[in-house]
Amino acid sequence: MSGTSTRRAATGAGVARPTVTVCRGCCCGTRKVPLLDHIAQLADLRQSLTGMATVRTTDCLDACDHANVMVIQPSAQGRQAGGHPVWLGWVNYPNAISDITTWITAGGPGIADPPNVLDLYTFTPPRQVRQTLDN
Ligand code: FES
């Protein structure tokens, strides 16, 4: 877990750019998700989204069955346009980062439709879990 991030900081509400919240808790980003260079994944995400989105890490989002979990939160403009946080699970393939980058480069939630392939990763966590991130 990064010592500089918290769930509260991960809300992304009202920010000018989309926010990508990357779970790095007890399962996501660990050996429990094998065959993936987690450090390189996060570095790739940060590099590819420089100037386009805020990328931050958070502790466990209570959706470990879906590790690695990321949440794409809309920009303020995206929220005004009806965008909402999109939860992605099993983000365990290198190509996923490029698909996420493509979407965010186009504007992210509320502004642009995600690439169809991201449907494979999208899931809806229990309401209580979603509220934890939003609060
Ligand atoms: S460690 Fe990511 S959801 Fe639990």
Three-state DSSP class for residue 37: coil
User: What pLDDT shows up at residue 9?
Assistant: 39
Superfamily of domain 8-134: Glutaredoxin (3.40.30.10)
Q: Which atom of ligand 1 is nearest to the CA of 63?
A: 3
User: What's the pTM?
Assistant: 0.87
Distance 56 CA to ligand 1 centre (A): 14
User: What pLDDT shows up at residue 87?
Assistant: 97
- Helix (H) or strand (E) segment spanning residue 19: strand 19-23
Residue 94: which residues within 8 A CB-CB, separation 6 or more? 41, 44
Q: How many Cα atoms sit within 13 Å of 61 on the Cβ side?
A: 34
Query: Residue ranges per domain, the chain?
Result: 8-134
Confidence of residue 8 (pLDDT cuts 50, 70, 90): very low
124 Ramachandran zone, left/alpha/beta (phi>0; psi -120 to 50): beta
Q: Which atom of ligand 1 is nearest to the CA of 23?
A: 2
Task: Identify which of 5, 33, 61 to mutate to test ligand 1's pocket (most ligand atoms within 8 A of the CB).
Answer: 61
Which candidate, 10, 45, 43, 38, places its Cα nearest to that of 24? 38
